[in-house]
Amino acid sequence: MNTLVKQTWAGLRVLLVMTVLLGILYPLAVWAIAHVPGLAANAEGSVVTRDGQAVGSSLIGVDPVPADPAHDPWFHTRPSAAGPGVPSGASNKGPDNEDLVKTIAERKDAIAKREGVPPGQVPPDAVTASGSGLDPAISVAYADLQAQRVARNTGLPLDRVKQLIEANTSGAGIGVPGVTVLPLNLAVRAAAGGAH
C-alpha cells in the first residue's frame, strides 16, 4: 500500500511539473518571443491595414469578388480547391483525373472569356489550385493577362497598370518572379482614386 501511495504522489508531482512547464511556461515563452519587435506582425497574421481597417493578410490570397462581374477592376488570385465552408485545402486529384481535367478546362474557358483572349493564352497558375488554395501571389504572366481588363475597368492607362504590376513583383518565396495580389489591388485602388 505504501508503494502505491508513493507512486501516486510521484505521478502527481510529474503531472504538476509538466502542466506548469508545458501548459503555462512554454506557451508564455512562445508568445513573448513572437512579440519581440520585428516579429510581432508575423505573429499576428501579417495583417495588412488601410486607414485603420484590416483589408487582408500578406500571407493569404483571397480572390476578390467584384460587385459587378461585368465591371471587374481587380486582379485575381489562383483558384482554390477548397469547398464551401472549408478554409483551405488541395484537391488531391492527379493530372489524369477526369474531374480535375474537366475543372481546369472550365476554368480556362471562364478566364479566357473574362480576359477576352483565346484559351491557349491562359497561364497554368490561372487554372490550377495550389496545395493550400490560398497563395498570395500569381505569376507575372497571369498578372499581365489581367492588366488590360483592370486598366479598362478602372480607367487607368495600361502603362500605369503594368508599372503597378512591376512594383509588386518579387521572388514571392517560390524562386521565380511572382506578383502579390493584395498589395497590387490596393495600389490599383489608390491609383484609381479609391473609387473601386
DSSP assignment string, 57-96? ETTB------SSGGG--S---------TT--S------TT
- pLDDT above 90 as % of the chain: 46
Question: Maximum CA pair distance of the chain?
Answer: 87
Backbone angles phi, psi at 95, to 5 degrees: -65, -15
pLDDT digits (tens, 9 = 90+) for 35-88: 888 776 666 767 777 787 877 777 777 777 777 777 889 999 888 776 655 666
Averaged pLDDT for residues 134-156 = 92
Taken in order 18, 23, 28, 34, the sign of the CA dihedral is positive
pLDDT digits (tens, 9 = 90+) for 124-136: 999 988 777 678 8
Which segment of 11-25, 97-111, 141-155 scores lowest on mean pLDDT?
97-111
Which segment of 46-50, 150-154, 158-162, 167-171 scores lowest on mean pLDDT?
46-50
Residue 92 has what pLDDT? 75
Residues 190, 52: Cα–Cα separation, whole Å:
15
CB 169, CB 178: distance < 8 Å = yes
Cell reading at 64: 476578390
